[in-house]
Structures are given as C-alpha cells and as structure tokens.
Structure 1
Amino acid sequence: MTETQALIENRPPSVATLFLERVEATPDAEAYRHPVPSPSGEGPDTWASLTWRQAADRVFAIAAGLIDLGVLPQERVALASSTRVDWILADLGIMCAGTATTPVYPSTNADETAFMLSDADCRVLIAEDAAQLAKARLRRSELPHLAHVVVIDAADAVPAEGDPEGWVLSLADLEKRGTAHLERHPRAVKDRIAALRPEQLATLIYTSGTTGRPKGVRLRHDAWSYMSRAIQATELVRPDDVQYLWLPLAHVFGKVLTAGHISVGHITAVDGRVDKIVENLPIVRPTYMAAVPRIFEKVYNGVATKAREGGPAKYKIFRWAAEVAREYAKVSQDNYRRTGSKAVPFGLAAKHRVADALVYAKIRDAFGGRLRACVSGASALAPDIGYFFAGAGIHILEGYGLTETSAANLVNPGEAYRTGTVGKPLPGTEVRIADDGEILLRSPGVMEGYHGQPEKTGEVLEPDGWFHTGDIGELSPDGYLRITDRKKDLIKTSGGKYIAPAEIEGRFKAVCPYVSNILVHGADRNYCTALIALDGPALLTWAKEQGMEDRSYADVVAAEETQALIGGYVRELNEGLQRWQTIKKFRLLPRDLDIEHGELTPSLKLKRPVVERTYKGLIEEMYAGSKED
C-alpha cells in the first residue's frame, strides 16, 4: 500500500476527529485570520488571528452549548450566515456535537429558508444577524421543531413580543452556556466525537435548483473525512500556505476547503465580503485561493478596461500582451505534456519577458504578489481566460465536483495542469464515461441520497455507487477530464446539429471585455441567438469616453453606439466558430443578471430556464420572420 493509499484508507470516521488530531498536533500554530472592523465603523479593518487551540476552545463551547440545548446526534442545526470565521467555528461545533449542519445562503428569501428548515426538521438555527432572525420569526408558525435561534451578531439577538421564552439567544450566550456545561460534564463533547460513525449524517445541504424546490443532499461524516485526506494527498495545498477564503460556505465548494484546511494545517484568512476582495488581497497576500470563474472574468475585464482607459497605445500593448500570454501558456503546457519541460522558443520567451515587465507583474501584484496557485470550480472557466492568467503567472488549476459528490472529485495536478481540463481524479475517486458521453463518478464523497426523495435518488445513483453527474465529457488517454457541456443544456438545432452553449459563451467572455453574462439560445431553432448582459463598471467607463456619462445603464445599453460596439465583438466571436454555431442575432439586456432575480445561483451559475422565461419576448423577437415561424 502506498503512502497516499494509506492516508486515504486509514482516515478517521469524521472531520471532528481530524479537528481533534490537528489541535493536538499544532495547538499554538495560527489557524485562522479574520477582519475586525474599526470601532467607529470608519477606516480600515484590522486583522486578528486564532490558533488551533483558541479555535478549539470556541468550537467546544459551541458544541457543548448545543448539547445543553438538548440537540441530539444527527438532528439538524441550520446555519444562515455569510462567510466569516464564526461560520467555520459554528459548523465545527455542530459536527463535534454529533449533530448535522444545514447551510442556508444569507441571500435566500424567507419562503425558501422556511422550506429548508422545515424539510430538514431543524432544531436550532444559527443566524448571522437580525435579517436572518427575521426570516425565521416571520415563518415561525411553520417551524414547530425550531426550538432556538442563535444570533452571531450579539447586538441583533433581540427577542420580540410573541417569541417563546429562550427562543432567541446570542452566539456568545450559547458559548457561555457551553462552557458551563463542560464544567459539569468535561467529556461531553469528546464523548460525542468518539461516538461518531462514518455513515452518520454530517451535512444536509440543499441544491439551488433551476426549477421547483431545492433538493436536500445527505452527506455523511465519511464524505468530509475522505475529502479532507484526499486534498492533503494531492499536495496542492501545503502546510506553509496562506489561503484566502471568501467563497460562500453554504456552497459545497467553500465547505470542502474548510475540510482540507484541517488536514493540511495551513493558515486560512476568512472574509466573505466580495466587495473587499481587491482591497484584501494585498493585505492577506495569499499563496493559495479558490474562486469561481466569474471572479477571474471580472479581473480580466477590469484589467482590459483599465488598459483601454489609458489610451489606444496602452490598450494595444495590453492586447498584444494578452496574446503573448496565451501563446506562451499553450506552448509551455504542450511541451510539458510531451517532454516534461516548460521551455518555449527563444523568440516567444523574449516577448514574454517584455510583456511581463509591462503587464503581467502588475496583475500578480494585484493578487498580493505571492499567489502560487488558484483553484477554479463550480462552473467552466473559458480556456482563453485560463491561458491568459497562466501566461501571466497566475496558475489557475481547474477542478470539478458537485454538491452530490462533496465538491472535489477532480483537480489539475500542480505543475502538470492543463488549461481547458478539470484535471485528474483525486485519490480514491473513480471516473468513467457512459455510452452517451455522460460523466459518472464513484467515491466515498458521493451522497447517501436526496433527503426524503428516494425516487429522485434512484434517478442519479446506481446501487453499486456510480453517480450520474448530468455533465458530458471526455477523458484523455492519460486521465485528464474535459467537460464539454451539461447533458441537459446541449442545444440541438432544427437542422440536427448539436451545440454546446457553454463553449460559445466562454469564448465570447474571452473576446469581449464588457460582457458580464451571456446565454446562447438555439434549441429546435434554425440558427443561434444570444442574450447578453454587460458589466456595469466597464460599460459606464466606456460610456463616459463616448460622452454618455449622464446616461443610466439601461440608456447606455440601448444606445446605437453600444449595439455597434458589442456587434463588433460578436462578429469577432463568429469568425472562430463553425457556421451552425455562429450567433446570427443578439439582444442586450437592460440590466445585469443576478441572484436576487433568481437568474444566477449563489455560486454565480446561469439558471438558463429562468433567464429564457424572463426574456422570452426578446428571444421570440430574434426569430420573428425566420423560416421556422
């Protein structure tokens, strides 16, 4: 048995056990960094740290507090909060108490929050603030099992008239209660951890479905223990790394990062405020971080927009440098695949050195100057954007997984990464391609099933453990997986041609620096069309240059100059497509797509049916008068 196999096979039954091992191994090492707002609310934040021992003190207090409230093993505790260190400590506390976490996005409305809390039979809700408390209070009559709401921000833990006695308490109060419980029963938490079994429920996490109610995915303790050890075995993350964690922890991608952190033992800086990312990067100076493709797209668009603001000469230099970066990345990756060396021809290397001094070094500085690797997941990264960053020295390692498979199933292997693929399976994960091209996965990370929905479970999970992902892909002879599209999202035109819309959309994002979101449509039609939403800051900066600074976003979108601008990028896109893939018509949307209108998932993935339904009129307009009508 190899060292990697031993690490996986001999894994503990739970992350709670792993947490105890980590605290015992490195009690005084720094575990977490987190921002502390200035007392006045003005001025920059300061950053505080927690050692593993200090984190354990809080985790044990939370766990004992839940035990004192009477929560039993495998009963559910909901957690509705943005990404912050308290979320991680609360989640660990829930697991150490033997109970199960039900994460809820803070952006979830009261109706869907109540559905999840009810469907999961949650006994306790740990809410971030008054806004999350209000959702539970509004639907309290529908939640007879909800015995307590614990509010993280203590000032917001204010009982209201009609609340049952003791229904609302602060997280600080829960921790005090837990500390007192431990004084009476010193082994209460350790006994709960010792009693945990791999097959017990650890997380009941709800998928953000495109239609209907979300489904509850049941993930066992063994799923997270396996993921923790598998991430450690890849050696992509090192004990001396500093990770910047801002992803939503209610999403399985963010959650799996917390499991890997415990096994590896590096430092994690936690701050979920997306509007603070640019400000935080030079302060945190991470060596490693994970993100969704939309973040890299926004960075790319921001760099391109700033270059354009500098005038035609500066923009021309940027465009040249971008092409050099892509060529450099493609040649070096291809050489590494064939020979094991990333060497490139002398002329290309010389151009790359010049471009590095003019452009790439500034991009690396914006990321803090120490970034060794990024992991991208949750949706597809446009290859041209991936190659750009690779050539600029920002190494984006694409990975793949689903909520139903605990998020991390494949990832690109360090130096041998290949842009445009999602890499190789993690140790202990099996992959195969079905006859129709669908990707099937089997691993200890695969879910137990959908909560209370055995029929739905049977549709995707075979008795021998193979999970049907719904994604289409192909495996290279040496084991790299490339995702070509969602099985249900493939377009078949009325002419019988199959089209992968995500591929076309990804190419457009690399061509057009003003795009925020794009949806390609063409199912059962005789040509393809597109709905395009533009990036507000980039668009309004351009509009100012055109003398339209006094116009609103919607007015700028409607302007002939904007239509002509985007039309030029659509023509550029079409030049690289097969005839049946080309975009014949497009419409610019009057606003960007967003989570609030239900058009994007919290991980910023496009909800195609919702967008097509909302803008059905614009779609029909683009086909009016065509032969099919």
Structure 2
Amino acid sequence: MSDTQTLIENRPPSVAALFLERVAATPDAEAYRYPVPNAAGEGPDDWKSLSWAQAAERVYAIAAGLIELGVTPEQRVALAASTRIEWILSDLGIMCAGAATTTIYPQTNADESAFILSDSDSRVLIAEDAAQLAKAVEKHGELPDLTHVVVIDPTGVETADWILTLDELEKRGAARLEKDPDLIKERVGAITKDQLATLIYTSGTTGRPKGVRLPHDNWSYMAKAIAATGLVGPEDVQYLWLPLAHVFGKVLTSGQIEVGHVTAVDGRVDKIIENLPVVQPTYMAAVPRIFEKVYNGVVAKARAGGGAKYKIFQWAAGVAREYAKVSQDNFRRTGTASVPFGLGAKHKVADTLVYSKLREAFGGRLRACVSGSVALAPEIGYFFAGAGIHILEGYGLTESSAASFVNPGEAYRTGTVGKPLPGCEVRIADDGEILLRGPGIMEGYHGLPEKTAEVLEPDGWFHTGDIGELSPDGYLRITDRKKDLFKTSGGKYIAPTEIEGSFKSVCPYVSNILVHGADRNFCAALIALDEVSIMGWAAENGLGGKSYAEVVAAEQTIAMVDGYVKQLNAGLQRWQTIKQFRLLPRDLDVEHGEITPSLKLKRPVVEREYAHLLEEMYAGTREA
C-alpha cells in the first residue's frame, strides 16, 4: 500500500477529530487571520490572528453552548452568515458537539430560508445579524422545531428567551466546560464516520432546493485527499473569501485543518482587491467570474492608458498565451516547461512591462489559484498562466463534497480539470456522462429516496449530469452539462457553455452570456455587459454621462459587441455560430434569481425572464 493510500485509508472518522489532533500538534501556530475595523474607524481594516489553541477555546465553548441549549448528536444547527471567522468557528463548534450544520446563503429570502430550516428540521439557527434574524422572526410561527436563534453581530438586536448572542452562547459553554472539562473530547470521540455532518441545499434552477447529506467521513476523506495532492503545505497562506455555505468554500476549511497552514478569512467581495496586497496569499480559490473580472479590468485599464499602452498590452497578452501553450505542451511531452529562446526573450520583456504589475496586484506571492464551480475560458486561463498566475482548474459537485478532480501543480493543463483526487474513481458512460465513485460521494438527498436513486447507483456510482472526456493519461475535460446540451431544429447538438466561454475570452466587456437554440434553426445569445468595463468604454466613446441601460441600448455599443460576436463566429462551426444577439438592460444577479450564489447561470430563469427578446430574435424565421 502506498503512503498516499495509507494516509487516506487510515483517516479518523471526522474533521472534528482532525481538529483536536491539529490543536494538540501545533497549538501556538497561527491558524486564522480576520479583519476588524481599525481604531480610527476609517481606512484599511486591521487584521487579527488566532492560534490553533485560541481558535479551539472558542470552538469548544460554542460546542458546549449548543449542548447546553439541548442540541444532541446529528441534530441540525443552521448557519446563515457570510464568510467570516465566526462562520468557521461556529461550523467547527457544531461538528464538535456531534451535531450537523445546515448551510444557508445570507442572500436566501425568508420563504426559502424557512423551507430549508423546516426541511432540515434545524433546532438552532446561528444568524449573522439583525437582517438574518428578521427572516427567522418573520417565519417563526411556521418553525415550531426552531428553539433558539444565536446572533453573531448583535447590533440592533433585542434578545429574548429564544434569541441570544454568540458571545452569550460562548459564555454559557465556557461555564459548562468548567464543570465538565472532558465534554467535547467525549462528544468528538463518539462521532462515527457515517454520522451526518453537513446538509447543503443545492440551489435548483426549478422547484425547491434539495438537501445533500454529507456525513463526517466525506470531510475527513477530503482533508486527507487534499493533503495527499501535495498542492498545499504548512507554510502556505490561503485567502478565503468564497461563500462557506457553498461546498467549494466549505471543503477548503477541511483541507486547512489537516495541513495546518494559515487562512485569512474575509467574504466581502468588494474588498478582494484591497485585501490581496495586505494578506499576500500563496494560494487562493476562486470561481471563473473573478478571473474574468480581473482580466476585463486589466484590458479596460490598458485601453484607458491610450493607444500605445493598449498595443503593448495586446502584444503582451498574445505572448502570455503563446508562452503558456508552448510550455505546457513541452512539459506534457518532455517533463520540462521549456520554450524557444526567442519566445523566452519576448516573455521577459512582457513580464517587466505587464505581468509583474499584475502579480503585485495579487499580493506578489501567489503560487497558484484553484478555480472551480464552472469552466474557465481557456484563453483567459492561458493569459494568466503566461503571466505567472497559475490557475489550477478543479471539478466536483455538492454531491461529491466539492473536490473530485484538480490539476496537478506544475503538470497542470489549461482547459482541463486535471486528474482525480486519490481515492476517487471515474468512468465515462456510453452517452459521455461522467460517473464518480469514492469516499467523497454523498449519502443521498435528505428525505428524497427517489431523487437519490435517480443519480446514485446501488454499487456507488454517482451520475454527475456533466459530459466530459478523459485523456489517455487521465486528465478530464468537461464539455457541458448534460441537461444544457441542446439540439437545433437541423439536428445538430450544441454545447452552449463551450461557446459562452469562448466569447468571454474574446470580448473584455461581457459579464454573462446565454446561448439559446433548442429546436430553433440557429443559435442566438442574450448578453449582459460588465458595468465597470462598459462604462469606462462609454466615457471614451461619446457616451459619457449616460446610464448603464442607455449605454447598452446605444447603437455604438451594439456595433462594438457585434464585432466581437463576428470574431467568435470565425472560430466556430457554421451551425454553432451566433446569428443574432440582444444586450440585456442590466447585468444578471443573485437577487433576481438569475445566477446562483456560486455565480452559475440559471438558464430556465433567464430564458423565462427574457422570453420576449428570444422570440423577437426568432420572429419571422422559418423553423424546420
């Protein structure tokens, strides 16, 4: 048995047990950093640290406090908060109490929050602030099993018998631990690997979300498998901003406990650019939309610098892509990422002029980024790779505890999601669907045995719903969601996400795009433009002072986007080309339910909302 197999197979039954091991092994090492407003109340935040021992003191107090509230093993405790240090401490506290965390996005409305609380049978809710508490208060009459709400930020909150602050919960827990110091050790010691640890509700595109049941063993396996990849080490500093209610964010907390590195936590997306030079992370995870925004911002800045600067940037971007493609190809063939002398010389000049500044904006120490949730447009990936910001795409689902595949460090291949994590099996079905089996696969959907049976075979193979292909040496490329593939009236199959990704790599102003054409005789597109980028372009093109809606309706804007659509079409098969498009009057967003909190497009919602634009594009055309 290899060292990797031994590491994974001899895993403890829970991450709670791993946490106790980590605290015992490195109690004084730094575990977490988190921002607090500075004393002056203005300017950049101050950052504070917690050692593993300090974090444990709070975690154990939260766990004991929950036990004081009557929480028993496997009972659900819901967590409705943004990504912050208290989310992690609360989640660990819930697990160390032997209970199970129900995650709720803070953007979730009162009706859906109430459904999740009821469906999960959550007994306690840990709410971020007065706004999250208000949702529970509004629906309290419909939630007879919800006995308490614990509020992290008590500003503007009036406590009651069933409402207390996190600080009060911790004080109750600390008092209990004084009387019963072995309480947490005993609770953690009693956890079995099959015991429920987490219920994560998938944001369905239609109907109510389904609760994915992830037992403790899923997270313990993930922690060991992430460590076994060798991608992160104890000296790393992770910048964690992803939503922790999402499985991608949650799995990163498990890996960190096993490896023991530092995590800087701040979920405020508008603070990312400000935080990166302060945190100086060595790695971070993100979704493609973040890299697209950075890329669009860099393009807009170069364009604003005048014709000469923009030409230099375009040249440097071309060099970056060529350098990345050649070096990756050579590494694949020879094991060395070498490039011809001339290309290397051009790359060195471009690095001085462009790439080095981009790396500094990321904090200057970034070794790698992990990207997941949806596909990253390869041309954007090649640009960053050539600029020295290595984006390792990975793949997984809520039902597979997030991380099933990841690109292997130096040997990463842009456009693929890499190789399976140790312990994960994969096969491609006859229709191209990716099937997975292994210790990361869910137990099933909560209270939905028929839905579970639809995707989980008796022998453990899970149907992902994604279409993909494996290279002879085990790299996986995702081509599309099975349910997103459509056939035109001419009988041609179209993979819309592939076309959408290609457009994002040619048009620096796009924010979201939806390609449509099921049972139609051509493909059309709904395009939403990135507000910051397009307003910068507008100011330079005689549209300054106009609103976003006026800018996207302007003839110049439509003509400019049409140029990029023609550029896209030049690289597509005839039946894939976009014959018509419409610019949307506003960007798609979570609040309108058009994208999920993890920034995935909800196609049925967008198609329903903009049906009039789709019909307008197809009006008068002959349907086959």
Q: TM-score, length-normalised on structure 2?
A: 0.99
Aligned to 2:66: 66
Aligned to 2:411: 416
> Within 2, Cα distance between the matches of 1:90 and 1:327?
46
For 2:151, the aligned partner's letter is V
Aligned to 1:106: 106
Q: 202, 225, 228: which one pairs with 1:230? A: 225
Aligned to 1:178: 173
Aligned to 2:612: 617
For 2:320, the aligned partner's letter is A
Q: 237, 243, 255: which one pairs with 1:242? A: 237
> Within 2, Cα distance between the matches of 1:66 and 1:270?
24
Alignment of 1:348-497 (within 5 A): 348-497=343-492
> Within 1, Cα distance between the matches of 2:517 and 2:12?
50
> Within 2, Cα distance between the matches of 1:608 and 1:43?
40
Q: Secondary structure at the match of 2:77?
A: strand
Aligned to 1:57: 57
Shift of 1:511: 0.4
Identity across the alignment (%): 77
- 8 Å CA contact 1:411–1:424 kept in 2: the answer is yes
Alignment of 1:216-615 (within 5 A): 216-615=211-610
Shift of 1:344: 0.5
> Within 1, Cα distance between the matches of 2:374 and 2:170?
38
Q: Which runs of 5+ in 2 are unaligned?
A: none
- Deviation sequence 1:315-344 (CA, Å, 0-9, x none): 111111111111110110000000001001
Shift of 1:174: 0.1
Shift of 1:39: 4.3
For 2:105, the aligned partner's letter is Y
Shift of 1:549: 1.6
- 8 Å CA contact 2:130–2:154 kept in 1: the answer is no
Aligned to 1:162: none
> Within 1, Cα distance between the matches of 2:6 and 2:572?
48
Q: Secondary structure at the match of 2:534?
A: helix
- 8 Å CA contact 1:411–1:425 kept in 2: the answer is yes
Shift of 1:187: 1.2
> Within 2, Cα distance between the matches of 1:19 and 1:157?
32
Instruction: Return structure 1 stretches of 4+ with deviation > 4 angstroms.
Output: none
Q: Secondary structure at the match of 1:508?
A: helix
1:197 matched to 2:192: yes
Q: Which moved more, 1:30-39 or 1:590-599?
A: 30-39
1:14 matched to 2:18: no
- 8 Å CA contact 2:355–2:388 kept in 1: the answer is yes
Shift of 1:314: 1.0
For 2:26, the aligned partner's letter is T
- 8 Å CA contact 1:157–1:169 kept in 2: the answer is no
- 8 Å CA contact 1:154–1:172 kept in 2: the answer is no
> Within 2, Cα distance between the matches of 1:579 and 1:355?
36
Alignment of 1:52-201 (within 5 A): 52-159=52-159, 165-201=160-196
For 1:572, the aligned partner's letter is Q
For 1:198, the aligned partner's letter is K
Shift of 1:40: 5.2
Shift of 1:242: 0.4
Q: Secondary structure at the match of 1:447?
A: coil
For 2:393, the aligned partner's letter is E
- Deviation sequence 1:267-310 (CA, Å, 0-9, x none): 00000000000000000000000000000000000000000001
Q: Which moved more, 1:149-158 or 1:200-209?
A: 149-158
Shift of 1:350: 1.1
Shift of 1:474: 0.3
Q: Which runs of 5+ in 1 are unaligned?
A: 160-164
For 1:202, the aligned partner's letter is A
- 8 Å CA contact 1:150–1:157 kept in 2: the answer is no
Q: Secondary structure at the match of 1:258?
A: helix
For 2:589, the aligned partner's letter is D
Q: Secondary structure at the match of 1:322?
A: helix
Shift of 1:42: 2.1
Aligned to 1:47: 47
- Deviation sequence 1:195-250 (CA, Å, 0-9, x none): 00000000011000000000000000000000000000001011100000000000
For 2:488, the aligned partner's letter is T
